[in-house]
Structure 1
Amino acid sequence: MTVGVPGWLADGAAKLMQRGPGSARTAEEIAFAEIPAATADVTIPTRHGEVAATVYAPPGGSAGRGVHVNLHGGGFVLRHPEQDDPICRYLAAHAGVTVINVDYTPAPQLRAPGAVEQALDVTRWAAAPERPWDGSRPTVGGASAGGALAAGVARLAWEEGAPPIALQVLLYPPLDLTVPARTKFGPGRERYLVPLGPFFDKAYAPDPHRRGDRLVSPAGPQDTVPLGGIAPALVITCEKDILRAEGIRYAERLDAAGALREHVDVPGVGHGFNILGSPRALIVDVYDRIAAHLRAAGTPDDDTAR
């Protein structure tokens, strides 16, 4: 019998990691610091308390332009939204949308599905007509845990009928917490998420039954509801990532529902490639794909999968 990580240990480790100095300094060539960023800090009310966020305006200002809600990664437990500054400034500049980089509440301070609900409330705030941008077709996305939260936002918005999510961007997301990280490892895959997975999963969803919930594991075996009508998706997986298989499963599920815009499987790289020093040209190619989909999502004719 395998003994899991004790809850007290997972929670303690998560809180200790949150007190760390943050993500490693992004290499200069992939920080995109040469792209000007007009930013403003805001505080957004949610059902689970206020959250801070940084708003990145596109060139020429936000008026009449779309809005994209970005949710950072970190295993659902880390609180370092600044690691997404490069992608936020890139998308604001190249997709021409306002980007809201959200500092959602991590676990164990807020367990699943709390962060999904927070992110939905932020997206509803962003979609409100009184905002300085056009919130009529909001998009939502994120990397790693942020991608999983984005999938949850799209699911809740679909179930509840609002807001009208125009696109979900899922960048190497964990979408099946019912499978232990150690069993996802295999030939050609990176190992570094294997020892972290049990701590992240226990802190975020300590009840194993909760890990099968549709908002936690949409690629898991328990969620079989047809997804016709859910927001269209761009799903990006990585060849060496232990999360690749579940990302592919979810992409296939979305495709069967007519809700897959594109699945991109990035060759030769693993989890977090865009913040861990992959070649700039590769990152630019992926970011350009995302930007193109965001631009298309802002066009009313982009309703074919809805």
Structure 2
Amino acid sequence: MVLPGWLADGAAKLMQRAPRGPRLPSEVAFTELPATTEEITIPTRHGQLRAIRYSPPSGPAGSGVYLNLHGGGFVIRHPEQDDALCRFIAFHAGVTVINLDYIPAPQSRFPGPVEQAYDVAAWAAAPDRPWDGGKLAVGGQSAGGALAAAAARLAFEGGAPDVALQVLMYPALDLTIPAAQKWAPGREKFLVRMGPVFNSAYCPDVRVRAHRLISPASDADTASLAGIAPGLVISAERDILRDEAGRYAQRLRAADALIDHLDLEGVGHAFNMGGAGRDVVLPVYEKIAEAVRVAFA
């Protein structure tokens, strides 16, 4: 289903006004991990963007940097939902984490959010930062995973910045297939309902949705990915985005650029914020932190 633009935009703006969802249970909030944070602004072609910088326990000097891109269907603006993941990576990987508050759709449609992500990645990699810009990773959840993959693709195609790792958690990587067609028995339906809003607000022209920076898991993108940043892909059994995450993991594997594909049983989209216990979330976060440490070694 393709929603009229005015309807999708109106619904997206209403969602932006909604308060943040329920606070994470303490067992997956990781508030026991100390976090030194600072609000910063970052220049991009789309203006100054706000971000929260998480410094590792030893301080930023000499550490690498991890750019985090939050989810929310390309339309919701709640970067604070990723506080637990950001503090975990900063503490356990010993790196600086930049949690970006990018401008979402409909205020910034494709390719706007992709350009914002890429510009911030290039900024973070500059040699005059407090951290080691030569050690850069990008990662994101859901729509943020799509933006992370696109930023890594642009860096690969343009030869800079040098991205050592891309972390894609339940990413949206194929908008050529309507959300309703991604559903199967046993999978959740909330993205089936919300998908038309998200997709229409982010990229109203359905013909553009086959673009390689939107749908790298679609049949339309056949370019070689040999040489792209190695990827850690995380998908969930009950998520309607599971198949496209798997297809992209296969593309990375074919390019010898897949670190691992974790396909989690019994959980759904945004499992780390939507009810999964510490027994599920902790091993995933540990895997991410390990991948960052190895990539920066």
Q: Which runs of 5+ in 1 are unaligned?
A: 300-306
Q: Which residue of 1 aligns with 2:188?
A: 190
| Distance of 2:181 and 2:173 partners within structure 1 | 14
**2:132 equivalent among 125, 131, 134:** 134
Residue 20 of structure 1 deviates from its aligned partner by 1.1
RMSD, aligned α-carbons: 0.8
Residue 188 of structure 1 deviates from its aligned partner by 1.6
| Distance of 1:117 and 1:148 partners within structure 2 | 12
Q: Which residue of 2 aligns with 1:87?
A: 85
| Distance of 1:247 and 1:254 partners within structure 2 | 11
Which secondary structure does the structure 1 equivalent of 2:66 belong to? strand
CA distances 1:87-124 after superposition (whole Å, capped 9, x unpaired): 00011001111000000000000011110110111011
Which secondary structure does the structure 1 equivalent of 2:167 belong to? strand
Q: Which residue of 2 aligns with 1:269?
A: 267
Q: Which runs of 5+ in 2 are unaligned?
A: none
Q: Which residue of 2 aligns with 1:303?
A: none
8 A contact 1:136–1:164 mirrored in 2: yes
**2:156 equivalent among 142, 155, 158:** 158
Q: Which residue of 2 aligns with 1:216?
A: 214
| Distance of 2:43 and 2:24 partners within structure 1 | 30
Aligned length: 297
Which secondary structure does the structure 2 equivalent of 1:85 belong to? helix
Q: Which residue of 2 aligns with 1:282?
A: 280
**1:256 equivalent among 248, 254, 257:** 254
8 A contact 1:23–1:80 mirrored in 2: no
TM-score normalised per structure 2: 0.99
Which secondary structure does the structure 2 equivalent of 1:268 belong to? coil
**1:69 equivalent among 59, 67, 70:** 67
**2:42 equivalent among 41, 44, 59:** 44
CA distances 1:249-295 after superposition (whole Å, capped 9, x unpaired): 00001100111111110111000000112111210000000000000
| Distance of 2:210 and 2:139 partners within structure 1 | 21
Q: Which residue of 2 aligns with 1:60?
A: 58
Which secondary structure does the structure 2 equivalent of 1:132 belong to? coil
| Distance of 2:134 and 2:92 partners within structure 1 | 20
Residue 23 of structure 1 deviates from its aligned partner by 2.8
Which secondary structure does the structure 1 equivalent of 2:154 belong to? helix
Give 1:211's aligned amino acid: R
8 A contact 1:237–1:264 mirrored in 2: yes
Which secondary structure does the structure 2 equivalent of 1:4 belong to? coil
Give 1:293's aligned amino acid: A
| Distance of 2:199 and 2:20 partners within structure 1 | 20
Which secondary structure does the structure 2 equivalent of 1:276 belong to? coil
Which secondary structure does the structure 1 equivalent of 2:232 belong to? strand
Are 2:172 and 1:204 aligned?
A: no
| Distance of 1:68 and 1:85 partners within structure 2 | 13
| Distance of 2:255 and 2:19 partners within structure 1 | 42
CA distances 1:173-214 after superposition (whole Å, capped 9, x unpaired): 010000000000001211111000000000000000111100
